[in-house]
Amino acid sequence: MSSREFPDSAGTVIIGAGIVGNSLAYHLARQGVEDLLMIDKGPLPDPGGSTGHASNFLMPVEHSKEMTHLTRRSIEQYDEMGTFANSGGIEVARTDERVEELKRRMQSAKAWGEPAELLTPAEVEELVPYIETDLIEAGFYSTGAGTCDPLRAGEIMRARADAIATGAVTPEEIDAGDVGPDDLEGVGDGPGGLSLAPNTEVQDLHVDEGEIRAVETDRGTVTADRVVIAAGLWSPEIAKMAGVEIPLTPAVHQMISVGPIPFFEQFEGEINHPVVRDMDTQMYERPSGNDMEVGSYQHRPILWDVEDVPSIEEAPLSPTQPPLTDDAFEQSMMDALELMPEVLDDPEAGIRHEIDGLLSEAPDGAPLLGPLQDVDGLWSCAAVWIKEGPAIGEMVAQWMTRGYPDVDLSEANVNRFYEYGTSREWVKARAHELYQEIYGIVHPSEQWQSGRPIRTSAFYDQQDDHDARWFEAAGWERPQWFESNEDLLDVYADELEGLHRPNEWDSRWWSPIILAEHLHMRDHVAMIGDMGFGIFDFVGSDVVDYVERMAVGRCDVDVGKTVYTPILAENGGFVSDLTIARLGPEHYRVVTGGAAAGSDRAWFTSHIGDDEHVTLLDRSDSLCTLGVWGPDAREVVQSVTEEDMSHEAFAPYTAQEITVGETDAWAMRLSYVGELGWEIYAPMSKGHRLWETIADAGDAHDIRPVGMGVYGTTGRMEKGYRLFGHELEIEYTPAEAGLTFHGLKEADFNGKEAYAEAIEADNAATLCTLSVADHAPDGGQARFMLGNEPVMDQDGQVLVDEEGRRSYVTSAGTGPSVGKHLLMAYLPPAHAEEGTRLQVEYMGDRYPVDVEVVGSRPLFDPENDRIRS
């Protein structure tokens, strides 16, 4: 595979021969891609990127289900290739707060199905005899953790890719264990397969009519149908050649290797003791032969500009291994010496290697995967750690070839920063903040402090005057609640009894004012805005067929109708859920949640056919949205609107153009909080005026601005409304989510076959609404779950459905109008019975919960009388 000339053309070009590029090549070959070329400016097997200096340990348990599953699948791949050592890993706690965090780790381990145990300091010492137990209070033992050899894995994957792509072996033969490393020597030296072009520098990407055409290198130009940028910290530079952006920055991770350590000399093999993560100092100690690698994320963030990263020729070690910045590492030395004096404070053990290792950091720490929507055929696969590299290669290969991955990659979609979060300054500000949070105790609702505000709507100043507590979504500043509504706590003191959260963790980034705002809305009227929606208008002569093809719901409806609909992948899993309104015969408007806007936009654009007359007009930044909801909403809106807003003139689930005071607007009568009212859309420039008009009109009804805490949690939970990324994701179908009310329409649409099957089949799990029966079953402080807790039967066994999916809390939030703390979870049929008593584990304790509703029937106002009133 290496003997071939640099080709003139290739089906798929992969730029980058690190763990990601190699894994992509292998899995693309497995998916049937035959004509592959891998280019790297460095030599093989270590081209000089981050893969070459990683510490190579894999700790699977994270609070993200997807990242945990990706690491688990990666471990299995490394293991199958003989490049994994199951050393185990222990996260140690030095503080009480960290002990609580380790309990939360246990909770996530159970929820995602990873083996783990909590250890006492003495138990930690049995596994790690050289640790100073006086310093630690507990350990979280991930028994499935271990270390890998990504360079060797890369070689194997390249050889396999070539062998499969040339037809010399089949994936099945590899899976059966029939193909050893020796069997791959020299196979596939014929045409096709995987060509390798190391020591080849990419100089330009050729784009024509919005499509990738060719890759220009110092060894020639190769035409390509598809190009994947898997170039690690150089990815932004490569993307720039095509006029698109991959937002990441090189960041320093300091690491030293200390040895020879006499204690380790008695053991054979590369690693014989668990890797230790010293969480509170943001460090790790990883045995490697007779050495101990000591790595740190504790030091001050040191971010690089990619153009300052040296070339291979200029770098003494490798481009991503500049010399250690001594002063930044000093505290880390002290902490490591203190934790493991027996091995590290041995005068015979010297620092044999010390680097400022460069790695890729995205603004939120998640990978940057998927199609780059402004250039057809150009993909990003960047900001990936060693621990998830093989599985991400697999998932992106699936995505490229069949349109969707097995594991939901929404949180890692490169398009999530589209057109707002790609500037270098902003990326660096976020990366700087994020760096300090590595190994940190990050609350599920934790808000960024840096680079804000980056996106503000027309109402920003008015809301700020009400003392808004700002949360951010896809860059948009949205009030979570308003301190100005504090007086409502007194008004609703009785209703809120028992719903306050006495525990600091449970109430962090939360306020009981949210519950009071909710009750006020249910009793009177509230205004909510801006939600930061993605708003896409589609126009053109083929738009009806196009929109029909995208959506489960029938969209060839009368002008003025709205359709709430799932958007599915071919497997019937969720890509999104959103509202489509028909504005004209050849004009639709799609409104989707802000967080998903960039990814949804990419999904929609990628499905416009080459010859199809459909144009997308992105209105997200030009329209503001103001929701007015509550029993008094009609009176308020009617008082300032020229048009007739009566039930008869403006029916539920329809849309019309209206004039509110001086503002020309467009409104949909629907509600995510289950109330009478409208979402009013106006030009950003008129937003301020619109807010004033509604606020003045609502004065007599004591209209209150209320926050996203009501919109996104309390209101929707009572109504059983699902949230994309929580309940709705690629692994569950509309049947399981209880969203088959559209039935099966005649027109074809993405995922139709799987959707039809899902309707016919018995659900393997059904989304249910549960309530917490006792917040303090053992007495003491009442606790309130926040989401992602494992759901168990009365015996403490986590529920698992017949497809192996485990039950966990997808969303948690208080329902003030029903007086309960509500949870949503997919439950297997045996437990999806209303009235069933189950348990959830939260912070190390178990709490009884009851199944309130099976399916999507609202707990509050089940007949939707309010919306229809």
Partner 1 sequence: MDVLTCIKRVPDTGSKIVLTEDRQSIDASNLGFTMSPHEECAIEAAVQLVEAHGGTARVLTLGPPAADEQLRTGLAMTADEATLLETDGAEWGPRATANAIADAVRAAEEEFDLLLFGNESADAANYQVGIRVAERLGLPVVAGIKSLEVEDGTAIAGREVSGGEEIYEVDLPAVVTVKEGINEPRYASMRAKMSARRQEVDRREPDAESGPGTFEKLRLEAPSDEDSAAEVLGEGPEAVPRIIEVLEEEVEVV
Phi, psi for residue 79 in degrees, rounded to 5? -65, -45
Least distance (Å) from partner 1 to the CB of residue 283? 13
At closest approach, how far in Å is the CB of 623 from partner 1? 48
Burial class (CB in 10 A: 0-12, 13-18, 19+), 845: middle
- The partner residues of 739 in beta bridges, in order of sequence, read none
DSSP state of 713: I
Question: Within 10 A of 834 (CB to CB), how many other CB atoms are there?
Answer: 13
Nearer to partner 1, 306 or 333 (CB): 333
Q: Which is nearer to partner 1, 150 or 259 (CB)?
A: 259
**CB closer to partner 1, 258 vs 368:** 258
For the bound state, the minimum distance from the C-beta of residue 815 to partner 1, rounded and expressed in Å, comes to 55
Of 139 and 322, CB closest to partner 1: 322
Helices first, then strands: H and E counts in the chain: 24, 38
Nearest distance, CB of residue 128 and partner 1, angstroms: 18
Whole-angstrom Cα distance, residue 707 to residue 697?
19
Q: Which residues pair with 625 in a beta bridge?
A: 681
Minimum CB separation from partner 1 for residue 270, in Å? 20
Q: Provide the 3-class DSSP secondary structure of residue 70.
A: helix
Of 348 and 497, the one with the shorter C-beta distance to partner 1 is: 348
Cβ of residue 297: shortest distance to partner 1, in angstroms? 18
* Best CA proximity match to 53, nearest among 281, 324, 345: 324
CB of 59 to partner 1, least distance (A): 24
Q: Which is nearer to partner 1, 349 or 843 (CB)?
A: 349
- Residue among 354 and 477 whose Cβ is closer to partner 1: 354
Query: Smaller CB distance to partner 1: residue 334 or 651?
Result: 334
**Closest CB 220 distance from partner 1, rounded Å:** 21
Q: Is-contact 249 322, C-beta < 8 A?
A: no
- Residue closer to partner 1 (CB basis): 340 or 739: 340
Distance CA(604)–CA(600), nearest Å, equals 6
Contact at 8 Å (CB) between 555 and 565?
Answer: yes
Nearer to partner 1, 100 or 338 (CB): 338
Q: How far is CA 354 from CA 515, 809, 820, in A?
A: 53, 43, 55
**In whole angstroms, how close is the CB of 429 to partner 1 at the nearest point?**
23
Residue/partner pairs of 501-508 with CB below 8 Å, 24 or more apart: 501/782, 501/784, 502/781, 502/782, 503/781, 503/782, 503/783, 503/784, 505/100, 505/443, 505/843, 506/783, 506/784, 506/786, 507/784, 508/443, 508/445
State phi, psi for 193 to the nearest 5 degrees.
Answer: 75, -150
Q: Of 337, 109, 102, 45, nearest to 808 (Cα)?
A: 109
Quick one: which of 596, 240, 245, 593 has its CA closest to 421? 245
Structure tokens at 374: 């402004």
At 811, give phi and psi (nearest 5°). -145, 145
Distances (CA, A) of 575 to 603, 838, 845: 8, 30, 34
Nearer to partner 1, 132 or 542 (CB): 132
Two tokens at 45?
């097997």
| CA separation for the pair 230, 207 (Å, rounded) | 18
Distances (CA, A) of 322 to 19, 41, 98, 317, 615: 21, 18, 33, 7, 48
Closest separation in Å from C-beta 319 to partner 1: 8
Q: Which helix (H) or strand (E) holds 99?
A: helix 96-112
CA–CA dist 145, 153 (Å, integer): 17
Q: By C-beta, is 355 or 499 nearer to partner 1?
A: 355
Beta strand residue intervals within 132-219, DSSP E: 138-142, 146-148, 193-197, 202-208, 211-217
Report, in Å, the least distance between residue 261 CB and partner 1: 11
Q: Contact at 8 Å (CB) between 66 and 110?
A: no
- Per the listing, tokens 């606790």 go with 783
DSSP label at 422? -
- Closest CB to partner 1 among residues 34, 201: 201
For residues 790 and 779, what is the distance between their CA atoms, to the nearest angstrom?
21
- Minimal distance in Å, beta carbon 321 to partner 1? 10
Which one, 344 or 791, has the nearer CB to partner 1? 344
Output the smallest distance, CB 530 to partner 1, in A.
45
The rounded Cα 784 to chain-centroid distance in angstroms is 24
Provide the token pair at 444: 């599920």
- Residues making contact with partner 1 (CB under 8 A): 256, 258, 294, 308, 310-311, 313-316, 322-323, 326-327, 330, 333-334, 336-337, 344-352
Provide, rounded to whole angstroms, the least separation between the CB of residue 344 and partner 1.
6
CB 262, min distance to partner 1, A: 13
In whole angstroms, how close is the CB of 125 to partner 1 at the nearest point? 21
Nearest to 403 by CA among 567, 571, 548: 571
The number of angstroms, rounded, from the C-alpha of 112 to the middle of its chain's C-alpha atoms is 15
Residue 18, burial from CB neighbour count under 10 angstroms (0-12, 13-18, 19+): buried
* Closer of 292 and 531 to partner 1 (Cβ): 292
Q: Which residues contact 31 (CB under 8 A, 6 or more apart)?
A: 397, 398, 400, 401, 402
Q: Which is nearer to partner 1, 345 or 748 (CB)?
A: 345
Q: Which is nearer to partner 1, 312 or 491 (CB)?
A: 312
Nearer residue to partner 1 within complex by CB, 182 or 314: 314
